[in-house]
Amino acid sequence: MSSKYLLAIIAIIIIIGAYLTLTTENQYERIEIAGSTSVQPIAEKLAQVYMEKHPNVKINVQGGGSGLGIRSVSQGIIDIGTSSKEPNSNESKGLNRYLIGKDGIVVVVNPENSVDNLTKSQIRDIYNGNITNWKDVGGKDGKINVITREDGSGTRSVFQKIVMEKTSIKGDAVVLTSTESVAQAVDGDPNAIGYISIISFKGNLKAIKVDGVYPTEETISNGSYPIQNPFLFLTKGNPHGVVEDFLNFCLSPEGQSIVKSEKVVPA
Protein backbone atom coordinates (compact mmCIF):
# COMPACT_ATOMS: atom_id res chain seq x y z
CA MET A 1 0.00 0.00 0.00
CA SER A 2 1.40 3.39 -0.98
CA SER A 3 2.04 6.07 1.62
CA LYS A 4 -0.54 8.24 -0.16
CA TYR A 5 -3.34 5.72 0.46
CA LEU A 6 -2.12 5.02 3.99
CA LEU A 7 -2.26 8.72 4.91
CA ALA A 8 -5.74 8.97 3.44
CA ILE A 9 -6.95 6.03 5.55
CA ILE A 10 -5.43 7.53 8.71
CA ALA A 11 -7.09 10.87 7.98
CA ILE A 12 -10.47 9.17 7.53
CA ILE A 13 -10.05 7.28 10.82
CA ILE A 14 -9.21 10.53 12.65
CA ILE A 15 -12.24 12.30 11.16
CA ILE A 16 -14.58 9.44 12.06
CA GLY A 17 -13.15 9.29 15.60
CA ALA A 18 -13.59 13.01 16.11
CA TYR A 19 -17.15 12.85 14.79
CA LEU A 20 -18.07 9.98 17.11
CA THR A 21 -16.50 11.78 20.08
CA LEU A 22 -18.41 14.98 19.40
CA THR A 23 -21.63 13.06 18.80
CA THR A 24 -21.22 11.16 22.07
CA GLU A 25 -20.36 14.32 24.01
CA ASN A 26 -23.43 16.10 22.65
CA GLN A 27 -25.66 13.34 23.99
CA TYR A 28 -24.98 14.42 27.59
CA GLU A 29 -26.59 17.14 29.64
CA ARG A 30 -23.94 18.82 31.76
CA ILE A 31 -23.77 20.41 35.20
CA GLU A 32 -20.69 22.38 36.24
CA ILE A 33 -20.08 22.68 40.00
CA ALA A 34 -17.19 24.44 41.77
CA GLY A 35 -16.32 26.07 45.09
CA SER A 36 -15.60 25.01 48.65
CA THR A 37 -13.02 22.24 49.09
CA SER A 38 -14.91 21.21 52.25
CA VAL A 39 -18.15 20.73 50.30
CA GLN A 40 -16.39 19.12 47.32
CA PRO A 41 -16.34 15.49 48.64
CA ILE A 42 -20.07 15.44 49.40
CA ALA A 43 -20.87 17.18 46.10
CA GLU A 44 -18.82 14.53 44.27
CA LYS A 45 -20.67 11.71 46.07
CA LEU A 46 -24.09 13.20 45.30
CA ALA A 47 -23.04 13.72 41.67
CA GLN A 48 -21.78 10.14 41.37
CA VAL A 49 -25.05 8.62 42.59
CA TYR A 50 -27.13 10.98 40.45
CA MET A 51 -25.14 10.14 37.31
CA GLU A 52 -25.60 6.42 37.98
CA LYS A 53 -29.35 7.03 37.93
CA HIS A 54 -29.14 9.38 34.92
CA PRO A 55 -26.54 8.08 32.42
CA ASN A 56 -27.31 10.98 30.07
CA VAL A 57 -26.00 13.53 32.60
CA LYS A 58 -22.37 14.47 33.23
CA ILE A 59 -21.56 16.43 36.40
CA ASN A 60 -18.14 18.00 36.83
CA VAL A 61 -17.23 18.94 40.43
CA GLN A 62 -14.20 21.09 41.24
CA GLY A 63 -12.82 22.88 44.32
CA GLY A 64 -11.20 26.29 44.44
CA GLY A 65 -12.70 27.71 47.63
CA SER A 66 -16.05 29.19 48.63
CA GLY A 67 -15.15 32.62 47.28
CA LEU A 68 -14.48 31.20 43.85
CA GLY A 69 -17.73 29.24 43.92
CA ILE A 70 -19.78 32.31 44.82
CA ARG A 71 -18.09 34.51 42.19
CA SER A 72 -18.26 31.89 39.44
CA VAL A 73 -21.96 31.14 39.86
CA SER A 74 -22.75 34.87 40.12
CA GLN A 75 -20.98 35.41 36.80
CA GLY A 76 -22.79 32.49 35.17
CA ILE A 77 -19.55 30.56 34.59
CA ILE A 78 -20.86 27.49 36.45
CA ASP A 79 -24.30 26.08 37.21
CA ILE A 80 -23.88 25.51 40.95
CA GLY A 81 -21.48 27.21 43.34
CA THR A 82 -20.62 25.46 46.60
CA SER A 83 -19.87 27.35 49.79
CA SER A 84 -19.11 26.53 53.41
CA LYS A 85 -19.99 30.06 54.51
CA GLU A 86 -23.03 32.30 54.21
CA PRO A 87 -22.55 34.76 51.33
CA ASN A 88 -22.59 38.37 52.51
CA SER A 89 -25.24 40.82 51.35
CA ASN A 90 -23.25 41.85 48.28
CA GLU A 91 -22.31 38.29 47.30
CA SER A 92 -25.83 36.92 47.67
CA LYS A 93 -27.52 39.29 45.20
CA GLY A 94 -29.35 37.27 42.56
CA LEU A 95 -28.40 33.94 44.11
CA ASN A 96 -30.66 31.17 45.35
CA ARG A 97 -29.42 29.34 48.45
CA TYR A 98 -29.87 25.61 49.15
CA LEU A 99 -28.79 24.23 52.54
CA ILE A 100 -27.44 20.72 51.89
CA GLY A 101 -26.17 20.04 55.41
CA LYS A 102 -24.29 21.40 58.41
CA ASP A 103 -20.59 20.89 59.04
CA GLY A 104 -18.43 21.13 62.12
CA ILE A 105 -15.01 22.75 61.96
CA VAL A 106 -12.65 20.53 63.91
CA VAL A 107 -9.60 21.98 65.64
CA VAL A 108 -6.89 19.37 65.09
CA VAL A 109 -3.46 18.62 66.49
CA ASN A 110 -0.92 15.85 66.01
CA PRO A 111 -1.69 12.62 67.94
CA GLU A 112 1.56 13.10 69.89
CA ASN A 113 0.15 16.29 71.41
CA SER A 114 -1.10 15.74 74.99
CA VAL A 115 -3.64 18.61 74.89
CA ASP A 116 -7.24 17.35 74.76
CA ASN A 117 -9.36 20.42 75.37
CA LEU A 118 -9.11 24.13 74.63
CA THR A 119 -11.53 26.94 75.30
CA LYS A 120 -12.59 29.10 72.40
CA SER A 121 -10.66 32.01 73.93
CA GLN A 122 -7.50 29.87 74.16
CA ILE A 123 -7.81 28.93 70.48
CA ARG A 124 -8.30 32.61 69.64
CA ASP A 125 -5.18 33.55 71.64
CA ILE A 126 -3.15 30.84 69.89
CA TYR A 127 -4.22 32.09 66.49
CA ASN A 128 -3.71 35.78 67.21
CA GLY A 129 -0.29 35.16 68.75
CA ASN A 130 -0.99 35.82 72.43
CA ILE A 131 -0.24 32.17 73.29
CA THR A 132 2.82 30.74 71.54
CA ASN A 133 3.86 27.71 73.62
CA TRP A 134 1.96 24.49 74.26
CA LYS A 135 2.97 24.50 77.94
CA ASP A 136 0.77 27.57 78.44
CA VAL A 137 -2.35 25.49 77.67
CA GLY A 138 -1.37 22.33 79.55
CA GLY A 139 0.87 20.70 76.94
CA LYS A 140 4.59 20.04 76.67
CA ASP A 141 7.12 22.80 76.19
CA GLY A 142 7.19 23.59 72.49
CA LYS A 143 6.47 26.43 70.06
CA ILE A 144 2.96 26.27 68.61
CA ASN A 145 3.01 26.15 64.82
CA VAL A 146 -0.21 27.77 63.64
CA ILE A 147 -1.76 26.61 60.37
CA THR A 148 -4.67 28.38 58.72
CA ARG A 149 -6.57 28.56 55.44
CA GLU A 150 -6.32 31.22 52.75
CA ASP A 151 -8.51 34.31 52.39
CA GLY A 152 -11.66 33.32 50.51
CA SER A 153 -11.89 29.94 52.21
CA GLY A 154 -15.36 29.37 53.66
CA THR A 155 -13.84 27.37 56.50
CA ARG A 156 -11.53 30.27 57.38
CA SER A 157 -14.42 32.73 57.15
CA VAL A 158 -16.47 30.76 59.68
CA PHE A 159 -13.45 30.20 61.94
CA GLN A 160 -12.69 33.93 61.81
CA LYS A 161 -16.26 34.89 62.66
CA ILE A 162 -16.90 32.35 65.43
CA VAL A 163 -13.45 31.95 67.02
CA MET A 164 -11.39 35.05 66.20
CA GLU A 165 -14.27 37.51 66.52
CA LYS A 166 -12.71 40.99 66.11
CA THR A 167 -9.07 39.86 66.32
CA SER A 168 -6.89 38.77 63.39
CA ILE A 169 -4.97 35.60 62.69
CA LYS A 170 -1.28 36.31 63.25
CA GLY A 171 0.80 37.24 60.24
CA ASP A 172 3.35 34.43 60.48
CA ALA A 173 0.76 31.64 60.47
CA VAL A 174 1.28 29.06 57.72
CA VAL A 175 -1.41 29.61 55.08
CA LEU A 176 -2.57 26.58 53.08
CA THR A 177 -5.16 26.39 50.30
CA SER A 178 -7.14 23.23 51.01
CA THR A 179 -8.54 21.12 53.83
CA GLU A 180 -6.34 18.21 52.74
CA SER A 181 -3.13 20.26 52.88
CA VAL A 182 -3.94 21.44 56.42
CA ALA A 183 -4.53 17.84 57.53
CA GLN A 184 -1.26 16.70 55.98
CA ALA A 185 0.70 19.53 57.60
CA VAL A 186 -0.68 18.79 61.09
CA ASP A 187 -0.10 15.07 60.60
CA GLY A 188 3.57 15.76 59.94
CA ASP A 189 4.24 18.23 62.77
CA PRO A 190 3.86 17.33 66.51
CA ASN A 191 3.64 21.04 67.44
CA ALA A 192 1.12 22.11 64.80
CA ILE A 193 -2.50 23.17 65.20
CA GLY A 194 -5.03 23.57 62.39
CA TYR A 195 -8.73 23.47 61.63
CA ILE A 196 -10.55 21.35 59.06
CA SER A 197 -14.03 20.27 58.07
CA ILE A 198 -15.29 17.28 60.05
CA ILE A 199 -15.95 15.52 56.74
CA SER A 200 -12.18 15.42 56.20
CA PHE A 201 -11.31 14.41 59.75
CA LYS A 202 -9.45 11.10 59.79
CA GLY A 203 -8.10 8.94 62.57
CA ASN A 204 -4.51 10.00 61.94
CA LEU A 205 -5.25 13.38 63.57
CA LYS A 206 -6.46 14.29 67.04
CA ALA A 207 -9.60 16.37 67.44
CA ILE A 208 -9.62 18.89 70.29
CA LYS A 209 -12.67 19.41 72.47
CA VAL A 210 -13.78 23.03 72.31
CA ASP A 211 -15.16 24.33 75.61
CA GLY A 212 -15.40 20.71 76.69
CA VAL A 213 -17.50 19.56 73.70
CA TYR A 214 -16.21 16.98 71.22
CA PRO A 215 -17.26 17.44 67.56
CA THR A 216 -19.78 14.75 66.55
CA GLU A 217 -22.91 14.59 64.41
CA GLU A 218 -25.02 14.84 67.56
CA THR A 219 -23.22 17.87 69.02
CA ILE A 220 -23.31 19.65 65.67
CA SER A 221 -26.99 18.85 65.16
CA ASN A 222 -28.04 20.02 68.64
CA GLY A 223 -25.83 23.11 68.43
CA SER A 224 -23.68 22.35 71.50
CA TYR A 225 -20.47 22.19 69.46
CA PRO A 226 -19.58 25.86 69.02
CA ILE A 227 -17.73 25.90 65.67
CA GLN A 228 -20.01 24.89 62.81
CA ASN A 229 -21.03 26.17 59.40
CA PRO A 230 -23.49 25.51 56.56
CA PHE A 231 -22.86 23.47 53.42
CA LEU A 232 -24.55 25.43 50.63
CA PHE A 233 -25.34 24.97 46.95
CA LEU A 234 -25.93 28.28 45.16
CA THR A 235 -27.54 29.01 41.80
CA LYS A 236 -27.92 32.22 39.83
CA GLY A 237 -31.66 32.76 39.86
CA ASN A 238 -34.08 29.86 39.75
CA PRO A 239 -32.60 26.62 38.40
CA HIS A 240 -34.23 24.79 35.52
CA GLY A 241 -34.07 21.41 33.83
CA VAL A 242 -31.40 18.97 34.94
CA VAL A 243 -29.88 21.44 37.46
CA GLU A 244 -33.23 21.78 39.24
CA ASP A 245 -33.70 18.01 39.18
CA PHE A 246 -30.23 17.43 40.66
CA LEU A 247 -30.90 19.92 43.48
CA ASN A 248 -34.23 18.22 44.23
CA PHE A 249 -32.37 14.91 44.42
CA CYS A 250 -29.81 16.38 46.85
CA LEU A 251 -32.59 17.57 49.17
CA SER A 252 -34.65 14.37 48.87
CA PRO A 253 -34.55 11.66 51.58
CA GLU A 254 -32.16 9.65 49.41
CA GLY A 255 -29.87 12.63 48.85
CA GLN A 256 -29.89 13.53 52.52
CA SER A 257 -29.02 9.95 53.48
CA ILE A 258 -25.94 10.29 51.24
CA VAL A 259 -25.09 13.55 53.03
CA LYS A 260 -25.34 11.75 56.37
CA SER A 261 -23.20 8.85 55.14
CA GLU A 262 -20.43 11.38 54.44
CA LYS A 263 -20.40 12.50 58.11
CA VAL A 264 -22.26 15.72 57.37
CA VAL A 265 -25.34 16.58 59.44
CA PRO A 266 -28.33 16.51 57.03
CA ALA A 267 -30.22 19.74 56.43
The reply to whether 104-228 shares the fold of 3-102+230-266 is yes
Percentage above 70 pLDDT, the chain: 90
Q: Are 77 and 70 within 8 A, CB to CB? A: no
Mean pLDDT taken over the chain: 91
Position 223 scores a pLDDT of: 86
Percentage above 90 pLDDT, the chain: 73
- Inform me whether the pLDDT recorded for 24 exceeds 60: no
| Region 104-228: CATH code | 3.40.190.10
| Region 3-102+230-266: CATH code | 3.40.190.10
Domain ranges within the chain, ordered by starting residue: 3-102+230-266, 104-228
- Inform me whether the pLDDT recorded for 11 exceeds 80: no
pLDDT category at 154 given cuts 50, 70, 90 is confident
- Inform me whether the pLDDT recorded for 25 exceeds 80: no
* Residues 232-246: tens digit of each pLDDT: 999 999 999 999 999
- Inform me whether the pLDDT recorded for 152 exceeds 90: no
Between CA 182 and CA 148 the distance in angstroms is 7
pTM: 0.70
pLDDT category at 38 given cuts 50, 70, 90 is confident
* Residues 211-265: tens digit of each pLDDT: 999 999 899 988 899 999 889 999 999 999 999 999 999 999 999 999 998 888 8
